[in-house]
Structure 1
Amino acid sequence: MFRIVSVINNNVTLAKNENHEEVMITGNGIAFQKKKGDIIIQSKIEKVFRLNTEESKNNFLALLKDIPLDFITVTYEVINDLTTEFNYPVQEYLYVTLTDHIYCSYQAIHKGNYEFNKLPDVSHEYPTEYIMSKKALKIFKDKLLDSFPDNEIDRIALHFINAKSGENQSDKIQINRSRIIIDKVKSKLKEYKIERTKRNSHLFDRFMVHLNYFLEYLDRSRSDNSSLLDMEDHIKVAYPLAYEIGNEIYKIIACETGVELHRSERIYIILHIQRLL
Structure 2
Amino acid sequence: MFRIIQSLNNNAALVKNEKGEQAVVMGLGITFQKKKGDLVVKEKIENIFALKNAEAKENFLTLLKDIPLDFISVTYTVIDHLVATYHYPVQEYLYVTLTDHIYCAYQAVLKNTYQESRLPDISAEYQLEYQMAKEALQLFRVKLLKDLPADEIGKIALHFINAQGETFDHTREEYDISKQIMAKVEQTLHANGIKRTKTNSNFYDRFMIHLSYFLNYLDRPTKAEASISSLEQNIKSHDPKAYQIGSEIFDVIKELVIVRVNESERFYIILHIQRLL
Q: TM-score, normalising length from structure 1?
A: 0.71
Query: Is 1:212 paired with 2:208?
Result: no
SS in structure 2 at match of 1:7: strand
SS of residue in 2 equivalent to 1:29: coil
- Which residue in 1 is equivalent to 2:191? none
Distance 1:151 1:186, change over 3 A: closer
Deviation at 1:82, TM superposition (A): 0.6
Task: Report the Cα distance in structure 2 between the residues aligned to 1:121 and 1:247, rounded to whole angstroms.
Answer: 23
Partner deviation per Cα, 1:116-167 (whole Å, 9 max, x = no partner): 1221222211111111111100000000000111111111000000000059
What residue in structure 2 maps to residue 265 of structure 1?
A: 270
Between the aligned partners of 2:89 and 2:76, the Cα distance in structure 1 is 14
- Alpha-carbon offset, residue 251 of structure 1: 5.5
Distance 1:267 1:166 in 2: 24
Task: Say if 1:110 and 1:95 are closer, same or farther in 2 by CA, change over 3 A.
Answer: same
- 1:184 corresponds, among 168, 180, 185, to 180
Q: Relative to structure 1, is the Cα distance of residues 108 and 269 closer, same or farther in structure 2, using a 3 angstrom cutoff?
A: closer
Letter in 1 for 2:104: C
Preserved CA contact (<8 Å) 2:2 2:17:
yes
Name the residue aligned to 2:98.
98
Q: Which residue of 2 aligns with 1:118?
A: 118
1:214-233 equivalences in 2 (<5 Å): 220-221=228-229, 222-223=231-232, 224=235
| Farther off after superposition, 97-106 or 111-120 | 111-120
- Say which is worse superposed, 15-24 or 60-69, in terms of deviation: 15-24
Return the offset for 1:180: 8.5
User: Are the structure 2 counterparts of residues 228 and 54 from structure 1 closer, same or farther at C-alpha, using a change threshold of 3 Å?
Assistant: farther
Cα deviation code 1:224-243 (max 9, x no counterpart): 4968959x9xxxxxxxxxx9
Contact 1:28 1:44 in 2 (8 A): yes
- Per-residue CA shift, 1:161-197, capped at 9, x if unaligned? 0000059xxx99xx9xx87862531565899xxxxxx
Check whether the contact 1:14–1:24 (CA below 8 A) recurs between aligned residues.
yes
Aligned to 1:252: 252
Could you tell me the percent identity over the aligned residues? 45
Separation in 2, partners of 1:67, 1:187:
26
Q: Are the aligned partners of 1:27 and 1:44 in contact in 2 as well (CA < 8 Å)? A: yes
Q: Secondary structure at the match of 1:57?
A: helix
How far off is 1:8 after superposition? 2.4
Are residue 157 (structure 1) and residue 162 (structure 2) matched?
A: no
Q: Report matched runs for 1:1-277 at 5 Å.
A: 1-166=1-166, 182-186=178-182, 188=184, 207-213=208-214, 220-221=228-229, 222-223=231-232, 224=235, 252-253=252-253, 255-256=255-256, 265=270, 268=273
User: What SS class does the counterpart of residue 162 from structure 2 fall into?
Assistant: helix
Contact 1:6 1:15 in 2 (8 A): yes
Letter in 1 for 2:103: Y
Greater Cα shift, 117-126 or 50-59: 117-126
Aligned-residue Cα RMSD (Å) equals 4.1
Shift of 1:9: 2.6
Separation in 1 of the partners of 2:127 and 2:150?
16
Once residues 34 and 265 of structure 1 are traced to their aligned partners in structure 2, the CA distance between those partners, rounded to angstroms, is 47
1:97–1:210 contact (8 Å) kept in structure 2: no
Structure 1: which amino acid aligns with 2:111? K
- CA deviations 1:59-82 (Å, max 9, x no partner) are 000001111111100000000011
Shift of 1:43: 2.9
Q: 1:209 to 1:258 in 2, by over 3 A?
A: closer
Asked if the contact 1:163–1:213 (Cα under 8 Å) also holds between the matched residues in 2, the reply is no
Segments of structure 2 that go 5 or more residues without pairing to the other structure are 188-203
Give the alignment's TM-score, normalised by structure 2: 0.71
Is there any run of 5+ residues in structure 1 with no aligned partner, and where?
192-202, 233-242, 272-277
Shift of 1:204: 8.0
Count, aligned residues? 240
